[in-house]
Structure formats: C-alpha cells, structure tokens
Amino acid sequence: MKVNLNKITMNETIKTLLSRRSHRDYQDKSIEQEKIEQIITAGKAAPSSRNQQKYLIKVITNVDLIQELAQESKRLLNEKRPEISLREMADPIFYQAPLLILIFVEKGDKWAGINAGLLASNMFNAAWSLGIGSCYIGLANILNQSNLLKSKIDYPDDYELMTPLIFGYPKSDQVPVPVRKSDNVEYV
C-alpha cells in the first residue's frame, strides 16, 4: 500500500514539517533573543537516549566569532580535504548567518549522533515556524581538528562538536522542493 501525501489532513505542525527546507542565504538581520530562546527550548524538548540529555548547546550571535570559525573551517578544509570544492563566496561555510548553534556531545557516546539529530530537528522546525531558516553544516565538524575552537568556545575535553547549525531570516522562502520518493514506504 502506498502512502498518498496529498490526502494528509494538514494542521500547523504538519505544514511546518512539510514546508521546511535548508536555507543558506540570509538577510542581514539579527534574530531576536526571545526567538532564540524558543528555538533552544524546542530543541531541548527532543527525546534523548534514556533522557540523559548528554549534550552541550553553545549559542553564538557574535558575527565576528562566527566568521572567525568559518575562516578556520575553510582553512582546514583546504588543507586536509582539498577534494572538497568550496564555493567562491565570502563565507562558504556559515553563509553569513547571524546565529550559529554548536551542539557538543560526549566522545564515544554511541547514541550521540541520534540525540544531536533529534535536538537539531526540533530546533530547525521551531525556527521555521517562527519564519527563521536554518541549515546543518556538516563540513564545520572539521573544527574538531582545530585548537581555535577550543580556545574560543569553552567545553569539556571529553566532548566534541557533533552538530553545527546556522539560522537566519531567509532572503527568500522560495527554496525548491526536492522530489520525494514514493516507493520507499511499505505496510507489512
């Protein structure tokens, strides 16, 4: 039996989930502190393995620090991963986003990726419900190989950066909707 998404009754939550896209082009506008707090609160409401909540959330609104971390990511990628082609733009890492949230997890925690993903997903959907775009920036995990991250952001030695997230008011909400597979759901 196939699932027909066109026949789903829409409420506001489902509309948010189905309309959210990754954004990488932001207005030059700060995000209000109240909205940042709402995003974080929604993120922390996500489930985690045995509800241990073994993560640290670092919120960065200082655009100079965001740019410094972006430049360090770019430098490390050019040095250690030359096969990755970075876009020719001022900031091909954090896209000049006004808000960077870094999620750190305990090293060796086998559930860390799942927990951080659930936390990030809640944050993304909360942000979109507030008119704020977002994107997961996996390339920035290379900052784990940098002394700069540890010198700028205080976190325990037994933790590592798992999930770099950017947020901002999108320049456009007209992000193309990717085609979703229709043959990958089966009822058994």
pLDDT tens track, the chain, 188 positions: 444 556 667 788 878 887 788 888 899 999 999 999 999 999 999 988 887 788 999 999 999 999 999 999 999 998 888 888 776 777 889 999 999 999 999 999 999 889 999 999 999 999 999 999 999 999 999 999 999 999 999 999 999 999 999 999 999 867 777 788 888 888 88
String of DSSP letters for 43-61: HHTS--GGG---EEEEEE-
3 state DSSP class of 102: strand
149-164 as b/e, with b when 16 or more CB fall inside 10 Å? Answer: beebbeeeeebbbbbb
Domains in the chain: boundaries: 22-168
What are φ and ψ of residue 12, in 5° steps? -65, -35
For 97, the token pair is: 């986003």
In angstroms, rounded to a whole number, what is the distance separating the alpha carbons of residues 55 and 2? 38
Phi-psi region of 131 (alpha: psi -120 to 50; beta: other; left: phi over 0): left
Contact call for residues 63 and 28 (beta carbons, < 8 A): no
Backbone Cα Rg of the chain? 18
Provide the pLDDT for residue 56.
95
Q: Which residues contact 28 (CB under 8 A, 6 or more apart)?
A: 96, 98
What is the number of helices (H) and of strands (E) in the chain?
5, 4
Residues paired with 166 in a beta bridge: 100, 135
What are φ and ψ of residue 97, in 5° steps? -70, 145
pTM: 0.89
What's the CATH number of domain 22-168, 3.30.70.1070, 3.40.109.10, 3.30.465.10, 2.70.98.30? 3.40.109.10
Where do we find the tokens 């990030």?
120
- Give the residue from 17, 3, 1 showing the smallest Cα distance to 181: 3
User: By CB neighbour count within 10 A (0-12 exposed, 13-18 middle, 19+ buried), where does 94 fall?
Assistant: buried
